[in-house]
């Protein structure tokens, strides 16, 4: 049995093949690589595409999720399609193969030189839903890309010989996309047959929306990083190239052969001169051509510098999903009343003078963790159970940011912010721009808070955790930035998208007399975002109508408003146990604050006194609020129960909330 039978670890496989065959292995004929991948190779490893051995090309394409889709019409060039992986998975391409025991279809046992293997009996899957449930990859195909249909099996284990170079290709099987790895897919055996050299076929789930929050782009594997670093350390003269080397052979005639034409190109014209003036004429042509060549080189250098600088500030497509704006006449992107807010302190000098090692106070222990999350980034880029980081006194907290994907690290020079939106106990939230174009929101520590190592560690923990959040009811996380020279904690910013209709509080004030049939849908959307946080053991601690933003018609939770340092003990939205300082913040205190938010949605004005409801508030909403704002935390419902009640309320507005009891 082949050791690759159920393994999609093609980076290791290509590397082993490269070691056996040497650097002169014949590469597959491929179209130009995706520019985004080439740019990242240059930025992260200072390598050009031609610096890589041929099989390293194949490995990097696979590791990045780029699969060549065979054009269905044969009238245009084959296109690259980037495969996506479930956000809650390892997000590594090496893990996308599915086991034969889980495949929802009939299989047959086939024989090969490397042993027996299993292969689907059909070219399609009857139960597409069952396949979607177990598929470990997803495919979104943009308009204009036609993918050829395959009559081969929709699933197969690997039976290729160890010496064969796999060539991943994307084909369509009915409504299912599948990755074929046989070198020549055009002669692949049809379904129902048993080829002796069948390649692995991996079915994927079809993704309907480009911004599906449950699917993310692949992360780079440690094996690929190691290989690229080995290539980077190799002397440049020994690096193999894949582009043709220029010939030094002198042409036999004066005509220059055009490589793109079968007819010779005529030589440069010369003027007939009986006095020998052809030589100056030739010099004139050569001088003009040389000057033009110098000018062209200068233009290319300038263009390369401009492109490199632009890439430094590039909005990374793999991590930033552009939100589709929906129609409707809504308030302006930035409410006028916010324009009166400005920064409370200039952020110039102290960003450049504070050192994370010299300016931070000595670390101190805290009695209990103030920020708890079940999933966290480990050093290898996977997830692991994480404890409170406030006790991490042995290292600089800022070092944890180095383990995040490089694409999330934004150039601080590309970020601008000047309008204060809100404050938490230790940080300020601003409206700003990325590259003077994209509307964003930023969170930055207050100057005093940035002097405390425990507070900095908690803020870094927030950034690390925000990088793992993916939910339709959460404002998407964009990245983080800091001063690359000083690496000061004062300069650290967390960045999310900015929703054009502003906060829920602003929206309610700008749109009076909203009907509860609309408001209950907004409340439900916000509750689903809070449930996502609670499911990951995250306590919000700062839930108000300011912490919910409107992206019409949806309401989204702003993750920047999560307060990891200290829960507030005053305010109408604060649970009684926190006001008495008898207990620490919990999911129950978040539910109490959610009930207070429903009161604000009912009155459509900020709460200044004890929360209350109007006479026109629907009875079922009144019941939800009363259960959420129970004085005893043990009698309050979970946010999941609140969601059930809101769903019933939205359906018919006579739901029974007795299920809370």
Q: What is the pTM of this model?
A: 0.45
**Mean pLDDT over all residues of the chain?**
75
- 527 has a pLDDT exceeding 90: yes
User: Count of H helices and E strands in the chain?
Assistant: 14, 21
Helix, strand and coil content of the chain, in percent to the nearest 5, comes to 35, 15, 50
Closest CA to 71 of 146, 180, 164, 153: 146
Instruction: List, for residues 29-73, the tens digit of each pLDDT value.
Output: 778 999 989 988 988 899 999 999 889 999 999 999 999 987 755
Who has greater pLDDT, 374 or 186? 186
Confidence at residue 471, expressed as pLDDT on a 0 to 100 scale: 93
- pLDDT score for 73: 58
For residue 138, what pLDDT is reported? 93
What is the C-alpha radius of gyration for the chain, rounded to an integer number of angstroms? Answer: 30
Q: Is the separation of the CB atoms in 413 and 483 below 8 Å?
A: no
Angle at 92 between CA 408 and CA 243, to 5 degrees: 85
Domains of the chain (ranges plus CATH)? 10-233 (no CATH), 396-498 (3.30.200.20), 503-660 (1.10.510.10)
- Residue 528 pLDDT more than 90? yes
pLDDT of residue 287: 55
Greatest mean pLDDT among 6-10, 356-360, 371-375, 550-554: 6-10
**Which residues make beta-bridge pairs with 85?**
216
Lowest mean pLDDT among 33-47, 217-231, 280-294, 389-403: 280-294
Confidence of residue 356 (pLDDT cuts 50, 70, 90): very low
- Is the pLDDT at 557 greater than 90? The verdict is yes
Question: How many angstroms separate the CA atoms of 280 and 278, rounded?
Answer: 6
Q: Which two tokens stand for residue 579?
A: 């006001």
- Report, as an integer, the average pLDDT of 118-128: 87
Distances (CA, A) of 519 to 372, 400, 624: 31, 40, 14
If one compares 308 and 589, the residue with the highest pLDDT of the two is 589
Question: Is 59 within 8 Å of 15 (Cβ atoms)?
Answer: yes
409 pLDDT higher than 70:
yes
Q: Which residue, 433, 465, 462, 459, is CA-closest to 445?
A: 459
Q: What is the pLDDT of residues 291-346, one digit of tens each?
A: 666 667 666 666 554 544 444 434 333 333 333 333 333 333 444 433 333 334 33
Q: What angle do CA 633, 590, 538 make, to 5 degrees?
A: 115
Residue 419 has, within 13 A of its CA and on its CB side, a CA count of 16
pLDDT of residue 60: 96
Q: CA-CA distance, 242 to 649, in Å (whole number)? A: 64
Is residue 101 predicted with pLDDT exceeding 80? yes
Q: Pick the residue with more confidence: 472 or 399?
A: 472
User: DSSP string of 103-163?
Assistant: -SS-EEEE--TT--EEEESSSS-S-HHHHHHH-S-EE---TT-PBPB--S-S-B-----TT
Q: Is residue 181 a contact partner of residue 68, using CB atoms and an 8 Å limit?
A: no
Contacts of 572 (CB under 8 A, 6+ apart): 596, 607, 608, 609, 610, 611
- Determine the pLDDT at residue 339: 38
Of all residues in the chain, what percent carry a pLDDT higher than 90?
Answer: 32
pLDDT of residue 186: 66
Residue 364 has pLDDT above 50, yes or no: no
DSSP state of 539: -
């Amino acid at each position: 049995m082949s050791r690759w039978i159920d393994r999609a670890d093609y980076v290791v496989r290509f590397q082993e093949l490269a070691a056996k065959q040497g650097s002169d292995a014949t590469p597959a004929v491929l179209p130009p690589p995706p520019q985004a991948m080439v740019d990242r190779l240059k930025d992260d490893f200072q390598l050009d595409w031609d610096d890589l051995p041929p099989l390293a090309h194949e490995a990097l394409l696979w590791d990045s999720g780029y699969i060549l889709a065979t054009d269905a019409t044969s009238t245009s060039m084959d296109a690259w399609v980037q495969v996506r992986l479930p956000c809650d998975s390892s997000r590594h391409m090496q893990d996308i193969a599915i086991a034969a025991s889980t495949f929802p279809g009939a299989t047959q046992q086939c024989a090969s030189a490397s042993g027996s293997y299993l292969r689907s009996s059909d070219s399609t899957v009857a139960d597409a839903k069952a396949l979607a449930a177990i598929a470990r990859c997803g495919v979104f195909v943009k308009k204009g890309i036609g993918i050829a249909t395959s009559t081969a099996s929709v699933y197969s284990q690997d039976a290729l010989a160890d010496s064969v170079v796999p060539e991943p290709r994307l084909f369509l099987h009915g409504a299912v996309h599948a990755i074929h790895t046989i070198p020549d897919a055009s002669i692949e055996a049809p379904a129902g047959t048993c080829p002796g050299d069948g390649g692995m076929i991996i079915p994927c789930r079809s993704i309907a929306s480009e911004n599906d929050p449950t699917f993310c782009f692949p992360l780079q594997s440690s094996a690929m990083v190691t290989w690229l670093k080995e290539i980077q350390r190799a002397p440049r003269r020994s690096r193999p190239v894949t582009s043709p080397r220029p010939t030094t052979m002198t042409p036999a005639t004066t005509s220059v052969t055009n490589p793109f034409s079968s007819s010779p190109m005529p030589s440069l014209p010369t003027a007939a001169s009986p006095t020998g003036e052809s030589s100056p004429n030739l010099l004139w042509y050569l001088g003009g051509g040389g000057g033009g060549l110098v000018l062209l080189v200068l233009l290319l250098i300038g263009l390369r510098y401009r492109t490199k600088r632009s890439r430094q500030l590039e909005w990374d497509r793999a991590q930033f999903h552009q939100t589709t704006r929906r129609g409707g006449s809504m308030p302006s992107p930035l409410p006028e009343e916010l324009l009166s807010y400005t920064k409370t302190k200039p952020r110039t000098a102290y960003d450049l003078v504070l050192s994370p090692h010299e300016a931070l106070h000595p670390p101190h222990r805290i009695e209990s963790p103030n920020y708890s999350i079940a999933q966290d980034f480990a050093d290898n880029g996977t997830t692991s159970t994480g404890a409170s980081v406030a006790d991490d006194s042995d290292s600089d907290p800022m070092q944890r940011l180095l383990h995040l994907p490089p694409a999330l690290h934004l150039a601080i020079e590309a970020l601008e912010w000047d309008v204060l939106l809100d404050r938490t106990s230790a940080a300020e939230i601003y409206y700003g721009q990325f590259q003077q174009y994209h509307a964003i929101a930023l969170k930055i520590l207050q100057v005093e808070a940035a002097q405390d190592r425990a507070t900095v560690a908690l803020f870094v923990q927030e950034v690390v955790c925000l990088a793992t959040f993916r939910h339709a009811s959460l404002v998407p996380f964009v990245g983080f930035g800091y001063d690359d020279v000083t690496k000061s904690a004062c300069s650290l910013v967390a960045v999310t998208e900015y929703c054009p209709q502003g906060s829920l509080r602003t929206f309610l004030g700008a749109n009076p007399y909203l009907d509860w049939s609309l408001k209950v849908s907004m409340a439900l959307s916000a509750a689903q975002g809070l449930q996502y946080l609670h499911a990951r053991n995250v306590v919000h601690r700062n839930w108000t109508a300011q912490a919910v933003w409107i992206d019409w018609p949806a309401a989204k939770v702003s993750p920047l408003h999560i307060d990891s340092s200290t829960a507030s003990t005053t305010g109408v939205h604060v649970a009684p146990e926190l006001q008495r300082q008898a207990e620490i913040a919990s999911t129950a205190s978040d539910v109490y604050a959610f009930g207070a938010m429903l009161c604000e949605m009912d009155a459509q004005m900020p709460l200044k006194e004890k929360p209350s409801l109007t006479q026109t508030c629907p009875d079922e909403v009144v019941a939800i609020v009363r259960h959420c704002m129970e004085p005893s935390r043990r009698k309050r419902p979970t946010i999941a129960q609140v969601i059930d009640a809101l769903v019933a309320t939205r359906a018919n507005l006579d739901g029974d909330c007795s299920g809370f009891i």
